[in-house]
Structure 1
């Protein structure tokens, strides 16, 4: 492993990008200097940082887009039942919701920066002998990012303005631009990304911080899959079947490159992101939004709240932070009962299901652990031990310093309870316990982005911003995209698609019922469920449900899918989930065009149903 390095493209440029203006046309021009500036490789990299930099903003992968907009799906929900705000993850948002405007304007800031950079670099007279790579690489990266930002806009908002030329702020005529139909935007994105592939890095040495050929190929597969979806209109001369064919082709290009593989350990994929390290062995994490610091100083800045807002809850009145086993986290997002069932009910073979105390899927154990770090202290507990004898014991555990198991009526969700004080009279002994791994399974924190200090650098104080990266593309997703696309194109899975699914499931430690690989319908259902199990909390599920044409249905089902037994859930959480998901309607397939944008761009019209 190696620590993240300068290929994050210039800390100072990212800092400049963090302080954005109110309009995407008014961003500080120092981020992307004009023609004549790019006379050295250092300056080329510095300028490119302004194009990449928006990925690392709080408005995009640091928080607003990655969590509030993209991560509220049938498997993940916002759990703060005391919160009454207008939020996309509560589906009570409007065109005036700040989060939606900030994400919109940040994406167009990235597009504006890309346009200015491309035009300036194309005019530079720099001597090619002074460069370590062809200047076309820098232009290709900027073009790719410009297309990717347009893809995110079209995916979330539908019809949006297509901006491929640098604007000349504050010229008001540059603001006025009507929306281009979604299907045309997506087709342009696909063509543009494909055109950049020959000029991008062939190696994966600089990934996951920069875009390589295989990253572009994987994202291109994602674009074509979305284009083939139920909500996108037909494109003349390009059938849905052909789009599935192209998605399969580009995913396969990644596979046959042999530059990526699955990490033997599912957990380590995310531990690497928490540790602030690159995986240079497997390169499973192909592209990440990177976060550099914790805001303890102006030179240690970050916009990332991954692990803080989504992670294992770790809060306490104690302030001896250096002793905590998990850094401070609100833990505002839980895995739903629907996600639990994907692991526990939908995917256990008969022999696996026969042992009600054993979790077989390592992804379930990592993503929905039986503990967080709320803290227990001097708690009295009465229970029956393994001999069936009723005993009364005491738990003494310093708050937020050790794992806190989920409890119900003196039952524990995990047998591994560390940090208990065994010196007190009648101390609890975990060895006495027959534990139940299903306790509170419907309200567990999203464990994928935990801030346990065994992985994350120890903080000396409460820190709301983290260095934890967020994955944009993983090789596991590429395998799943290939499997889905070839099944949709051919009407049945081929041998490579079947093996892709087996490979992912072998890594998870679970068996595969071969009958699920035998026909189109069974394989389609298996792939869809496998995407949920593998990619939960990574901001992809919502768009999957939308392109499959089942978004509203699945969201309503998740809202009403409450366990019947009290040991599985807490009514406050599940009622809040149900109320939020009851808000979901057909109009939520697209976000509303922000009110502020409509106020300045009179050529735009609000999305239907908003």
Structure 2
């Protein structure tokens, strides 16, 4: 195991954002306990090193929400290779390898953050100035514990059982190898640790940096999130590729999630007053709001860190990485499933904001996207006001904050927990659970249809535990698209295998239809608009219609169903061109985008799979090679790696 020792004099972070000055680290801050932890100002500066680990692209700046956004019915990346890539990076297709550079970098950066948090927690608790009655210091202690819990929780979700230690490694001796610990022991420790920290923490509106720092509400929300992970299903190393199971005491943890999500709700510190789209448009404009949907935003720095808005949003090409407009180029590589858009209620206003169907060239001319995906438009560089744009030569390092936790998540966690603990939502806390669910859904529909789409819908799904659970499964799908939450939810619900199977079949059926083969199940797709008619029109100049008020846009004619040609003035784009006439089969991207679990082609296995008895999806990441070598063989991979 690599040992991380912070020498803060090397952390010269040149941050210039007026909102994020707390991240500045002085060059004379060395890890010398008597000096650093004997001075309140220096204690705060040491804490910034923990936050700095969050912002690396190897961790939360890109890898967490993009590199390891595994394929599902929401986030989706197409793969054309029949065999795994040489670099081992095919994790989204459940086919990665332990030698992949990204998994090593993620591992290193997460444990760097843990080590920095351990140093801080140890140092502040031993400090002569520390007092449990000093809310500034108990707040800072709480922040470090919450950040440590973030790192460990996300490691557990992605890697399963992992090395676990809560002391600075310099205290353990150079020969000490941190032992791999059962994930349930880790998660239970984190819950207890945060329960102890929460009372000493401040609300976001009491902290100068607001939701860009870990608050009491975020601490309570993390307890709820970790408790649901502890109470949910996970892949365990039993059998060749593992077995999905949850612990017998799972309901105890749903009760904890219910209690702490309720604490956030009862505090009244957050709400959903902003429109859905404005939550994310404000983030692209570096607007931080402390009492609305975001509970904790990872504070990236303009021109300094973070790829949100560059890997997300429509692709924007350049000529030698230069555009004729002020926003610069974007990759737009963090994509959504091609069918995700059609899963929404047609009246749901989230769908047309989140799902994007066109890109831009260097001159700002829109181009229709016709491949295997759609864009994740939740954030984009081009949503920023022209005066805040990064410039025509800009690429990544957007400084757009990522909302690691939103109040909508807390509300739906509460509703889910009540439904599980009370066997439905007609009992003691049922009305409050239904109201939490309604709050999320209410924001998704215009006032004119609220009665039908919110109230009547909730009354219907609240009739049984099963129907309310299914409604939560769907609502989280629609609410959190593009945030890399879906596959993790599906894992803890033990639904991942079925969803991946169904998604593969969805792509396969539609691709086969294009080639004239109407397989069983094709009936529901025969009204899809295989040919879409469109035209480029001037920008409407209204952010409620399109967040960029300068660049031209594309108007589609009846985008929901196939139509005859509407007449002159409309161009045509062919969607779902997924059948290869040369091979008389669906294209490789249809066969191999889920290949680590289900595949077509020459080594097809899809016909042999039974939807009612599917094997588990190997979502677990492997321990990287270097960690195994440095452990002298103490660390071993399971799950067929």
Q: Say yes or no: TM over 0.5.
A: yes
SS in 1 for 2:341: helix
| Corresponding position of 1:502 | 438
| Corresponding position of 1:569 | 576
Task: Summarize the Cα distance change of 1:595–1:607 in structure 2 as closer, same or farther, 3 Å threshold.
Answer: same
| Corresponding position of 1:316 | 318
Q: In 2, Cα distance between the equivalents of 1:32 and 1:232?
A: 39
| Corresponding position of 2:138 | 136
1:189 correspondence with 2:183: no
Query: Within 5 Å, which residues of 2 pair with 1:487-526?
Result: 487-493=419-425, 494-509=430-445, 511-512=453-454, 513=457, 514-526=459-471
| Corresponding position of 1:368 | 355
1:450 alignment partner, one of 350, 375, 380: 380
Q: Contact 1:559 / 1:579 at 8 angstroms: preserved in 2?
A: no
Cα displacement string for residues 91-114 of structure 1 (whole angstroms, at most 9, x for unaligned residues): 321111111111111111111111
2:593 alignment partner, one of 554, 576, 580: 580
1:539 alignment partner, one of 469, 479, 484: 484
Q: Contact 1:208 / 1:286 at 8 angstroms: preserved in 2?
A: yes
Q: Contact 2:275 / 2:443 at 8 angstroms: preserved in 1?
A: yes
SS in 1 for 2:636: coil
Query: Within 5 Å, which residues of 2 pair with 1:28-67?
Result: 32-67=31-66
CA drift at 1:11: 3.3
Task: Summarize the Cα distance change of 1:220–1:91 in structure 2 as closer, same or farther, 3 Å threshold.
Answer: same
- The one of the two structures with greater contact order (alpha-carbon pairs below 8 A, sep at least 6) is 1
Q: Contact 1:91 / 1:580 at 8 angstroms: preserved in 2?
A: no
Q: In 2, Cα distance between the equivalents of 1:279 and 1:403?
A: 32
CA drift at 1:292: 0.5
Q: Contact 2:293 / 2:408 at 8 angstroms: preserved in 1?
A: yes
| Corresponding position of 2:199 | 198
CA drift at 1:560: 2.9
Q: In 1, Cα distance between the equivalents of 2:110 and 2:589?
A: 31
1:250 correspondence with 2:260: yes
Unmatched runs of 5 consecutive residues or more in structure 1: 17-28, 295-300, 349-359, 376-398, 407-439
Q: Contact 2:300 / 2:400 at 8 angstroms: preserved in 1?
A: yes
Q: Contact 1:311 / 1:449 at 8 angstroms: preserved in 2?
A: yes
- CA RMSD, 1 decimal: 3.0
Query: Within 5 Å, which residues of 2 pair with 1:149-548?
Result: 149-168=151-170, 171-174=173-176, 176-206=177-207, 207-231=210-234, 239-280=249-290, 282-294=291-303, 301-302=304-305, 304-317=306-319, 321=323, 323-324=325-326, 326-343=327-344, 347-348=345-346, 360-373=347-360, 375=361, 399-405=362-368, 443-452=373-382, 454-455=384-385, 457-493=389-425, 494-509=430-445, 511-512=453-454, 513=457, 514-548=459-493
Q: In 2, Cα distance between the equivalents of 1:319 and 1:173?
A: 48
CA drift at 1:235: 9.1
CA drift at 1:242: 1.9
Task: Summarize the Cα distance change of 1:258–1:45 in structure 2 as closer, same or farther, 3 Å threshold.
Answer: same
Q: In 2, Cα distance between the equivalents of 1:92 and 1:193?
A: 35
| Corresponding position of 1:557 | 502
Task: Summarize the Cα distance change of 1:171–1:523 in structure 2 as closer, same or farther, 3 Å threshold.
Answer: same
SS in 2 for 1:606: coil
Task: Summarize the Cα distance change of 1:196–1:160 in structure 2 as closer, same or farther, 3 Å threshold.
Answer: same
| Corresponding position of 1:607 | 638
Task: Summarize the Cα distance change of 1:170–1:162 in structure 2 as closer, same or farther, 3 Å threshold.
Answer: closer
Task: Summarize the Cα distance change of 1:31–1:100 in structure 2 as closer, same or farther, 3 Å threshold.
Answer: farther
| Corresponding position of 1:357 | none
Cα displacement string for residues 511-559 of structure 1 (whole angstroms, at most 9, x for unaligned residues): 1323222211111111111101000111211111111112233123223
Task: Summarize the Cα distance change of 1:172–1:452 in structure 2 as closer, same or farther, 3 Å threshold.
Answer: same
Cα displacement string for residues 275-319 of structure 1 (whole angstroms, at most 9, x for unaligned residues): 111014x4310101121022xxxxxx22x1122222211113376
Q: In 1, Cα distance between the equivalents of 2:504 and 2:246?
A: 35
Query: Within 5 Å, which residues of 2 pair with 1:108-147?
Result: 108-126=111-129, 133-147=135-149
Q: Contact 2:578 / 2:590 at 8 angstroms: preserved in 1?
A: no
Q: In 2, Cα distance between the equivalents of 1:362 and 1:161?
A: 44
Task: Summarize the Cα distance change of 1:188–1:498 in structure 2 as closer, same or farther, 3 Å threshold.
Answer: same
Cα displacement string for residues 396-427 of structure 1 (whole angstroms, at most 9, x for unaligned residues): xxx44144455xxxxxxxxxxxxxxxxxxxxx
2:622 alignment partner, one of 566, 572, 592: 592
Task: Summarize the Cα distance change of 1:320–1:580 in structure 2 as closer, same or farther, 3 Å threshold.
Answer: closer
Cα displacement string for residues 77-132 of structure 1 (whole angstroms, at most 9, x for unaligned residues): 12586995532224321111111111111111111111111222223234879x98
Q: Contact 1:92 / 1:580 at 8 angstroms: preserved in 2?
A: no
| Corresponding position of 2:550 | none
Q: In 1, Cα distance between the equivalents of 2:152 and 2:215?
A: 19
Query: TM-score under structure 1 normalisation?
Result: 0.77
Unmatched runs of 5 consecutive residues or more in structure 2: 1-15, 237-244, 514-527, 532-574, 580-585, 598-614
Query: TM-score under structure 2 normalisation?
Result: 0.73
SS in 2 for 1:530: helix
Cα displacement string for residues 346-381 of structure 1 (whole angstroms, at most 9, x for unaligned residues): x35xxxxxxxxxxx22211111134332x4xxxxxx
